[in-house]
Amino acid sequence: MLEREAEEARGSCLSSFLEALSGRVSRLTREAYARDLQQWLGFLRRLGLEPEEATPLTLRRFLAQLATLGYARSSMARKAVALRSFYAYLEKTGRLLGPDPARFLKVGGISRALPRVLSRADVERLLEEAGREGGILAFLERALLEFLYSTGARVSEAAGLDLADLDLERGLVRLKGKGRKERIVPMGDVAADRLREYLQSARPLLAARAGYTGGRVFLGPRGLPLSPRGVRRVMERAARRAGVAASPHTLRHSVATHLLEGGMDLRTLQEFLGHAEVDTTQVYTHVSKERLREVYFQAHPRAR
């Protein structure tokens, strides 16, 4: 009986924490936190401990066990973030018996893989190939790819784009990002022109195929809004024809790197990409350094 009550209390504690995250993080982040914390609660259960009884040593033992089981450092780092957030919430709500045991929890020596980026020449080849096959879907392909490269939008942001989000005259677009956060970003003239062509020449015909009367901008061959998977398919078709290994996420990484190399400062790039923390944006400085090194050894007369 007591064990069942303890189990219910643990579940209630986790549920209230996840509820508190609503509107602050994306659905996918909440689901990842839920899985990570369920694993943590299972670890505590086997030790006969409640969440409030955990110590810094208990937390380190948990991470050590994950390392023994072969978890990647990136996965362990995410679990550490979930634990820090969870215990900060418990402290804030007065549920801890003592100081926050996870406050200084971290996984040292994590190596973050550098994102793969396209050269400017590869991007040009990809965008030139977009729409080459002709037909009504050529307008969609050109508009979507130019939009992705111009705005650095995530796949979900492109799929969720509404007509009301576009201000083509001023070259601005409202993107609805993670955790329901919105941001206004600029859009280049070429992208705006391709969107005008698509909206005038293709979208009405596509919408008529399904009798679609909603406001989504990008519609697929059947006349219904493109899903994130549909956005990827449009991109993959153009990339195969151009002979470029690319995805929408690659294009997002590419525009971020090209902007940084062109002189955009890190804080502005953070706002442009919709990153909650500048640390996430920091990875692009490493990419640019790699590019700097590459150009140096190609250009300097005495580098080799």
Q: State the catalytic residues.
A: 154, 178, 249, 252, 275, 284
Name the phi and psi angles at 166, rounded to 5.
-95, 135
* Residue in this structure with the two tokens 């030139």, named with its chain if needed: 128
CA distances (Å), 294 to each of 166, 171, 290, in order?
A: 38, 34, 6
From CA 48, how far away is CA 158, in angstroms rounded?
47
Q: Going edge to edge, which strands form the sheet with 182-186?
A: 166-167, 172-176, 182-186
Residues written for the chain: 304
Bridge-based pairing state of the strands 166-167 and 182-186? unpaired
Q: Pick left, alpha or beta for residue 58 (phi over 0 → left; psi -120 to 50 → alpha; otherwise beta).
A: alpha
From CA 240, how far away is CA 250, in angstroms rounded?
14
From CA 120, how far away is CA 43, in angstroms rounded?
49
- Which contacts of 280-285 are long-range, i.e. CB under 8 A and separated by 24 or more positions? 281/256, 283/112, 283/114, 283/115, 284/115, 284/253, 284/256, 284/257, 284/260, 285/260
Bridge-based pairing state of the strands 172-176 and 166-167? antiparallel
